[in-house]
């Protein structure tokens, strides 16, 4: 039986944790105090600490303003050189001015603990950034959260709206999850094959893209987006009074695990259709062979037709060049 190697105890409020590929641990939370050279800027500040494999704190950095900050999520880039923290703030950061009440924030730090930048996601009302995930190449940062106001590109408010935003230094795009009432996006994971982003959260009396998420009490949901920001599908994970508490995607990007806090702790497993097959909602069910003239990757919802001069056989994952002495029409090879 394994035993504890070390633990850390202090008066700070630890909120979220991430581990790098070289086994360093990064924790974030909030504090009203100061630590070493880090001075509280006012109210609650977010802190980020790096802890090595022996449990020794390597550095601590405050992310704070004259207002209050709280951290909800943290992620480390695959190369271990960048740390991203998300949360909410009532203050301003440099040229980033709070839009009103709470704004969501995204902060980037280097592996040495230097603060690189802070970006705000805000409306005239309450906004939160709740989780963050990084693409395998480290170039794309995906942030989820929710708002009671109007964010960039949002034309109307449907109760509490959830969003997915992509950053690459600046905000690349922000999309609202298409719900009808109250949705709270709480967890996000980018897949290892760089094809999709999965979001887990909770909903109240809402329909997401036409699918009813709950009839009265709070239920939990799973949503899939493509990495270009295209909404793919939504799936109910628990119809009882429950809150989404965690999300994980397998290294092969074909299995999704969602944990739920309810009257009891629950874990849901979703299996995506494998390469060469597809299913309209992308998850468990009868997976159909990809038709001739098309390709289907893991979790495909619609076969992709091969282009001009290409062909494929049934169950294919890639289109091939038309063979010499043959011609290809609509992805089919004719000798």
Q: What percent of the chain is modeled with pLDDT above 70?
A: 88
Choosing from 273, 298, 316, the residue where a domain stops is 273
Asked if residue 4 belongs to a domain, the reply is no
So what's the pLDDT on residue 24?
A: 95
Model confidence pLDDT, tens digit, residues 279-317: 876 565 578 899 999 999 877 878 999 988 899 999 999
Q: CATH number of the domain that 219 lies in?
A: 2.130.10.10
The CA-atom distances, in angstroms, between 26 and each of 74, 90, 199, 265, 317 are 8, 24, 22, 26, 38
pLDDT in tens, 71-119: 999 999 999 999 999 999 999 998 788 988 899 999 999 999 999 999 9
The total number of structural domains that make up the chain? 2
Asked if 253 and 195 count as a contact pair (C-beta separation under 8 A), the reply is: yes
Residues 195 and 221 in one domain: yes
Q: How many whole angstroms separate alpha carbon 221 and alpha carbon 197?
A: 14
3-state secondary structure of 188: strand
**What's the domain range around 314?**
274-335
In a domain, 1, yes or no: no
Distance, in Å, from the CA atom of 167 to the CA atom of 216, rounded to the nearest integer, reads 35
Q: Are residues 72 and 203 in the same domain?
A: yes
pTM of the full predicted structure? 0.81
- What pLDDT, on a 0 to 100 scale, did the predictor assign at position 11? 47
If one compares 106 and 180, the residue with the highest pLDDT of the two is 106
| 79/208 same-domain check | yes
> Same domain for 164 and 85?
yes
Q: Mean pLDDT, the chain, as a whole number?
A: 85
| 221 and 299 share one domain | no
pLDDT (mean) for 50-66: 91
Residues 227-260 pLDDT 10s: 999 998 888 765 566 678 889 888 877 788 888 7
Nearest to 325 by CA among 312, 311, 335, 314: 335
The β-bridge partners of 11 are none
> Is residue 266 located within the same domain as residue 280?
no
Those residues with Cβ within 8 angstroms of residue 304's Cβ, 6 or more apart along the chain or in another chain? 294, 295, 296
Other beta carbons within 10 Å of 157:
15
């Amino acid at each position: 039986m394994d035993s504890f190697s070390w633990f850390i105890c202090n008066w700070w409020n630890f909120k979220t944790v991430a581990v790098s590929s070289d086994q360093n641990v990064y924790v974030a939370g909030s504090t009203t105090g100061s630590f070493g050279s880090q001075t509280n800027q006012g109210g609650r500040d977010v802190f980020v600490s790096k802890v090595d494999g022996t449990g020794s704190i390597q550095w601590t950095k405050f992310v704070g303003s004259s207002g209050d900050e709280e951290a909800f999520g943290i992620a480390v880039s695959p190369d271990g050189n960048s740390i991203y923290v998300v949360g909410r703030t009532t203050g301003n950061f440099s040229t980033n001015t709070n839009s009103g009440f709470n704004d969501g924030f995204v902060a980037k730090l280097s592996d040495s603990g230097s603060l690189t930048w802070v970006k705000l996601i805000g409306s005239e009302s309450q906004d939160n950034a709740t989780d963050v995930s990084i693409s395998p190449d480290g170039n794309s940062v995906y942030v989820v959260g929710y708002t009671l106001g109007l964010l960039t590109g949002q034309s109307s408010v449907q109760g509490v709206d959830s969003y997915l935003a992509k950053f690459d230094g600046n905000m690349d795009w922000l999309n609202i999850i298409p719900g009808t009432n109250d949705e709270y996006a709480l967890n996000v994971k980018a897949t290892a094959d760089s094809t999709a982003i999965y979001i887990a959260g909770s909903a109240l009396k809402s329909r997401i893209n036409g699918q009813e998420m709950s009839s009265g009490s709070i239920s939990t949901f799973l949503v899939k987006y493509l990495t270009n920001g295209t909404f793919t599908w939504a799936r109910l994970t628990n119809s009882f009074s429950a809150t989404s508490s965690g999300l994980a995607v397998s290294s092969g990007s074909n299995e999704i695990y969602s944990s739920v806090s309810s009257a009891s702790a629950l874990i849901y497993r979703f299996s995506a259709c494998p390469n060469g097959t597809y299913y309209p909602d992308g998850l468990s069910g009868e997976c159909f062979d990809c038709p001739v003239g098309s390709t289907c990757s893991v979790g495909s919802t619609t076969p992709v037709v091969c282009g001009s001069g290409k062909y494929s056989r049934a169950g294919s994952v890639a289109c091939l060049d038309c063979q010499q002495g043959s011609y290809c029409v609509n992805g089919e090879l004719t000798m």
